[in-house]
A and B are shown apart, each in its own frame.
Chain A
Amino acid sequence: MSENTSVPYSLVRFKRFFFNLLRNKKSAAGLTLLSIFVFIAVAGPLLTPYTPLGSVVSAQLNPPSWIVYFTGPLGWSQNAEFTGIKASSITGATLTTTSIGGDSASFSAASGASGGTVEVQKFVTWTYPGPAKRFVTSLSITPGPTILGQTVIATVYLDRFVGGVRDARWNIFDKTIDSNSTFEVNLDSISGDLRVRLGLSTSNIDPAQLIFSRQADYAYALELTLPPSANIDFSLQNFKLQIRGSTWGWLGTDQAGHDILTQLIYGARLSLIVGLLATFIGVGLGLVVGLIAGYLGRIVDEVLMRFTDMMLVIPGLPLLIVLVNVLGPSLTNIILVLGFLGWMGFARVVRSQVLSLRERPFIEAAKASGAGTGYITLRHILPNVVSLTYVNLALSVPAAIVGEAALSFLGLGDQTSVTWGRMLELARESGGSATNLFWWWVIPPGIGIALVSLSFILIGFSLDELFNPRLRRRR
């Protein structure tokens, strides 16, 4: 009992209200869904290490990895990376390693009278039944100053070992080095040069598909062929080769190999922000217009309601399109326009509520006791339309989210940010035609939009039932 008195009344009321909401099956489902989305939106960057359009995580247009459970494992692969760097001398050279590990190695190589060859390798065991889809390599070599005046040939190979024996070797790069400045080797299997080099220029097979087509051990090797009697230091950085498989993660990749799950997570954030802000603007405007019209009445009411009716008749999407087009498609503009076009219905509802409240005895009493218009509106009328506001807030958010998605889909979205609508636009644009739609790219954003809308609709309907006794009785 004593506890009860120490808790502020409004808190008790809120608790009871919240409890009622949770008791209702519909709103409990809605609230659960919504809190999941809010969590995703807030915790976004913690949930994924990538950025929506910055990180290339795998090959382009990869389906999700779990597809193997439906199609069988045949033909599918995942990403793999070469590891375990090792430097050794092959012929006629002595190698003194100063440091080696991770992606880098520093060593000095001394050759005998007939020259010599040293080799740095990394290894991978390709275990997937299907071939790889693409690979990208990187390497930067910095020779020491003793190289000046001599020439070293650097060759990059991919070697395949079966039963410990090398059974295939692909020469993917070579270059003669004669200066001590750093040079970089960045190869991408998709590039034309590499295709030509491997004799694949006329087929549409990616070199990665050719090379990583068997379950075997592979080595990524750099061979440095030294001239006779040379003693040169080398420092290697970024000695990496990434094999991109044909499936990726939970939701696959888009046209450029970006992670769709990451886009979805970041999209949740933007879509919720757009929906909520636009709704706040719309509901706020509607509240103000409705209160003013309802309370002041007469000519103000007439003018405002005439204007509201006119705005209601103007078709929404075309007006949105035209306005966003004219103002420029930034996220801020989209929010503002969605907000400024979303107040009319609510203004009407508030006005009629105020009109009926105005006739009630307690308003009359307040007026009789000399309270001012502003005071009465804030103190007596506003609290009585709060429930309407909640309901309308909940029911307007889906409209705003879908509105933004529609705009984005029509190409009027903010081109710098990833919302769910933008994802769908990209999914459609990338294929060039409708026959190139990829389910793992198209389905998730739509489900996101639908579920968020549904959660708000469920909450809105149950709020309505809670506040509207007529509905409650009829159930």
Chain B
Amino acid sequence: MKRVLNTVLLIVFVITLNFIIFELMPGTQASISNLVQNPRVFDPTQVARLLKLYNFCKEVTITGPHSYNCVPTTIWDRFSAYFVNMITFNFGDSFQTNKPVLHDMIQTGRLVNTLTLLGVATTVALLIGTLLGVVAAAKRGSIFDSGSVTLSLITFSLPTFWMGLLFIMIFANRLQLFPSGGVTPAYWAIKTPDLLGQFLTRVQYLFLPALTLTLFFYGGNLLLTRATMTEALSEDYSNTGRAKGLPERTVLFKHALKNASLPLVTNAALSFGGLLGGAIITETVFNWDGLGFWLFNAIGWKDYPVMQAMFFIIALCVIAANFISDIFYGILDPRIKYE
């Protein structure tokens, strides 16, 4: 119950923050008044849309090419309208396409594209990071251990987008093994191959962005797994397990890992926001037409409805991830009981 309340509170907080940023920041005000007042860019429909979007006026009537009448609203009017819009996912129309934001997000396949990339990268990174972390902890002090720690420290300190650019230079431009960007080849618009061909090509397009995002994510995971596993392996229950005659594999992956996974779950949820940030950048580097790339384009267009929607949705995802991880934690750790 407390958890649910917390989550609701967080959502309200996010909406409020969003409102404050977009409403009260001088930048927004300036860009709107600029649009309204600067005769050269004065476009009555644009202005009307903005004024409607931000709820600045109860009513707008355009009285001439450079003038309009506005019945102003109070900030509370605006906030309540904004709040309702947000929780009903009514984000308005994109400036770029004049279509509803939700339409541009889902019907264009962007959501699916992002989920594919994120899903693959997260799964692989979690598997590899955890596996290598367990082995590194088990062989603490070995060459394997210091090697994998060094490697993850390196991938940890390399900027994601730079790794992406390097991969493009090496694997796409030089070796020509993979395409340098995009989700599907352009010729598919004319002629789409059979399903197997489609699948193989899609994998080819997915490979580099997924690799980049995986490398971005696995290092932290490895380091954390190694740390928590080291802790777990030094606990007496690991010794009890060994003394029972359990094979080392069982001690590691059943007894120690289940304990070590508790902080991992929390961390996975907390780093979900960072992962989404990594996805935005990776998508931009590889022109991967997902939500992150869309957000990047929205920046250039000053497409406020899209930016707001993306910010809100990403925040929602992170909040959801935290909620889910809390529940997971409860399942994994019998010491925690929820009322």
Task: State yes or no: do A and B touch (Cβ within 8 Å).
Answer: yes
Query: Would you call B251 an interface residue if the criterion is a C-beta within 8 Å of the partner chain's C-beta atoms?
Result: no
Question: With A326-B21, A457-B156 given, is the CB distance from A318 to B315 under 8 Å?
Answer: yes
CA distance A439 to B295 in the complex (A): 28
Return chain A residues, CB-CB under 8 Å to B151: none
Are B159 and A406 within 8 A (Cβ)?
yes
Nearest A residue (CB) for B299: A325
Q: Mark A137-177, 1 if CB is under 8 A from B, else 0.
A: 00000000000000000000000000000000000000000
Nearest B residue (CB) for A322: B311
> Which stretch, B35-43, B86-94, B164-172, B199-207, touches the partner chain A?
B164-172
Query: Would you call A36 an interface residue if the criterion is a C-beta within 8 Å of the partner chain's C-beta atoms?
Result: no
Return chain A residues, CB-CB under 8 Å to B295: 318, 321
Are A317 and B277 within 8 A (Cβ)?
yes
Query: Would you call B153 an interface residue if the criterion is a C-beta within 8 Å of the partner chain's C-beta atoms?
Result: yes
Query: Would you call B75 an interface residue if the criterion is a C-beta within 8 Å of the partner chain's C-beta atoms?
Result: no
Nearest B residue (CB) for A412: B299
Return chain B residues, CB-CB under 8 Å to A317: 273-274, 276-277, 280-281
Q: Mark B132-159, 1 if CB is under 8 A from A, else 0.
A: 0000000000000000000001101111
Residue of B173, B277, B314, B315 contacting most chain A CB atoms (<10 Å) = B277
Return chain B residues, CB-CB under 8 Å to A412: 299
A438 CB, min distance to chain B CBs, angstroms: 8
Query: Would you call A74 an interface residue if the criterion is a C-beta within 8 Å of the partner chain's C-beta atoms?
Result: no
Query: Would you call A434 an interface residue if the criterion is a C-beta within 8 Å of the partner chain's C-beta atoms?
Result: yes
Question: With A409-B281, A437-B173 given, is the CB distance from A314 to B14 under 8 Å?
Answer: yes
Are B165 and A424 within 8 A (Cβ)?
yes
Nearest B residue (CB) for A325: B299
B123 CB, min distance to chain A CBs, angstroms: 20
CA distance A409 to B292 in the complex (A): 13
CA distance A406 to B302 in the complex (A): 18
Return chain A residues, CB-CB under 8 Å to B314: 315, 318
Return chain A residues, CB-CB under 8 Å to B315: 313-315, 318
**Number of B residues, CB within 8 Å of A:** 55
Query: Would you call A327 an interface residue if the criterion is a C-beta within 8 Å of the partner chain's C-beta atoms?
Result: yes
Are B27 and A328 within 8 A (Cβ)?
yes
Which secondary structure characterizes the binding site on chain B?
Answer: helix
Query: Would you call A112 an interface residue if the criterion is a C-beta within 8 Å of the partner chain's C-beta atoms?
Result: no
> Which stretch, A54-62, A200-208, A446-454, touches the partner chain B?
A446-454
Nearest A residue (CB) for B28: A326
Return chain A residues, CB-CB under 8 Å to B160: 406
Question: With A321-B299, A325-B307, A439-B169 given, is the CB distance from A314 to B17 under 8 Å?
Answer: yes
B37 CB, min distance to chain A CBs, angstroms: 18
Are B169 and A454 within 8 A (Cβ)?
no
Return chain B residues, CB-CB under 8 Å to A450: 154, 157-159, 162
Residue of A313, A317, A406, A446 contacting most chain B CB atoms (<10 Å) = A313
CA distance A449 to B162 in the complex (A): 10
Query: Would you call A374 an interface residue if the criterion is a C-beta within 8 Å of the partner chain's C-beta atoms?
Result: no
Query: Would you call A283 an interface residue if the criterion is a C-beta within 8 Å of the partner chain's C-beta atoms?
Result: no
Return chain A residues, CB-CB under 8 Å to B311: 318-319, 322
Partner of A313, one of B21, B153, B287, B318: B318
Query: Would you call B270 an interface residue if the criterion is a C-beta within 8 Å of the partner chain's C-beta atoms?
Result: yes
CA distance A437 to B318 in the complex (A): 34
Closest 5 CB pairs of A and B: A317-B277, A315-B273, A446-B162, A453-B157, A326-B27
- What would 25 A/B residue contacts be, using CB atoms closer than 8 Å? A310-B13, A313-B10, A314-B14, A316-B274, A317-B274, A318-B295, A322-B308, A323-B21, A326-B21, A326-B22, A405-B159, A406-B159, A409-B161, A409-B281, A410-B280, A411-B300, A428-B285, A435-B173, A442-B169, A446-B166, A449-B157, A449-B158, A449-B162, A450-B154, A453-B157
**Inter-chain pairs besides A321-B295, A424-B165, A434-B287, 14 sampled, C-beta below 8 Å:** A313-B318, A314-B17, A314-B315, A315-B276, A315-B277, A317-B274, A318-B277, A322-B311, A325-B299, A405-B161, A434-B172, A446-B158, A446-B159, A457-B156
